[in-house]
Structure 1
Amino acid sequence: MAVLLLVGAIALVGCDGNLNNSEFDLDQLMKQYDEWGQDTEDNPYIYFAFDSTSFYAMDVSWEDDNGTPTDTSDDTLIHYSIEVDSYTDSTITGHYTVYDSELDMNVDHPITVQITYNASSGLSLSFSGPDNAGLEGKSYNNLQPCDS
């Protein structure tokens, strides 16, 4: 009987004790793994920023090799910084700023981010908003936590 209870407990929690694939707590997920992705256009670096009380920002960025992958001298940093207005369940709403390599800014674009998580495939993000400043319409799937 004790063995069955132990097997049942492992099945509910998951073998590694991480989040299961049917439900996730966004707060727990982002605090446990605040850095995701591989810093590429298809699999960007994602950072969730928390202070002592709340989730306040999210960054999406990657290095664009400008068609010359072996020459890093012409790489361009693509960086979106989202100021979080609110988040509930799996939805983040806020405004974002676009930064380019010259540190010019294109500010205050409303954005909504839908987040889903599946233990076998990873984190997925979908961006929507009324402007067309860069993130709107983008989706990123199968993001994995960055190595710590």
Structure 2
Amino acid sequence: MATIRREASAKWQGAGKDGQGTLTTPSGTLRETPYSFHTRFEDGQGTNPEELIAAAHAGCFSMALAFQLSGAGHPPQELATTARLTMQQEGGGWRIATIALQLRAKVPGIDKAKFDELAAAAKANCPVSKVLNAEITLDATLEG
């Protein structure tokens, strides 16, 4: 059985609200990318963990669906997914409560029922969906 490992690193300096940090990945996609209280809870310059989780979920779901569709003989022309993550304050902290996936797909030759079945399977089985302890919804539109 294959095993895949990925990593990222974070550096943080200073107090929680006034401090700042950077995120780096070995691939170089993130290279000392700034994050802070302001990028997480306001609209500061940089990224934040939740934005990265939303990006990871949109990408994971799209790739999982591409495999599902291709395996069923309907390779997609285009899958455009947006993941909208909502955090809610809970007790003394925060939690990721929901992620709403919105998909617009161009898949030649597939009927809506089969498309919906494969999209639901991709939502349930992509690795990022499996790791999240949040309600995940899907609004999937098959175009043209």
TM-score range, shorter chain: 0.3 to 0.5
User: Normalized per residue, which structure has more strand?
Assistant: 1
TM-score, normalised relative to structure 1: 0.33
Higher helix share: 2
